[in-house]
A = this chain, B = another copy of it.
Amino acid sequence: MSQVHAFPKPGHNHARCTADALRKAEAVCAARKSRLTEIRRDVLETVWQSHVPVGAYDILSHLNENGGKTAPMAVYRALDFLMENGLVHRIASLNAFIGCAHMGEEHHAAQFLICHSCGTTAELESAPLKRALTQAVSERGFTIDSQIVEISGTCPHCRAA
């Protein structure tokens, strides 16, 4: 069941990741009666080109590769939509965005492992960590609204190399 998610491997079949993600996104939006419009889908697809967080202006460049004329605002609006619907996360320490690995699974925590060698970023999603955090915070009389956990280091694959 609650298996520890493996860190994305260098040579994995990423086309499947992307396809899965887009399919799930369609389902989530259908369920929520949110409209996954063309630009939103394009942005999501761009974000899913890899497991490396991508900047808003990189997304923009990608969209405009073939002579498009999309403006930054459109990208940010699409990203806002995708974040509101739990399809994309923002990595604050990088000012960049990454596809959510747990669409629709209502995961509360946004915890990330960021390899500063290959850039690959994965969701940690540790329940014990979440508990420790909740405990520590409530001990201090603080009420949580949102949290950011971003851990930078070296991923297993880069470490092996």
Contacts and interface: CB of A to CB of B under 8 A. Distances in A.
B140 A4 contact: yes
A128 B137 contact: no
Contacts of A136: 124, 126, 128-129
A78 interface: no
Contacts of A81: none
Given A132-B132, A148-B92, A141 B153 contact: no
Contact of A142 (B93, B137, B155): B155
Interface string A126-161: 101101110111011111111111111111100100
Task: Determine how many copies of this chain the complex contains.
Answer: 2
A9 B135 CA distance: 21
A23 B144 CA distance: 33
A76 interface: no
Nearest to A6: B140
B124 A140 contact: yes
Nearest to A158: B143
Contacts of A131: 132
Nearest to A149: B149
Interface in A60-110: 92-93
Given A132-B126, A137-B113, A153 B149 contact: no
A150 B146 CA distance: 9
A154 B140 contact: no
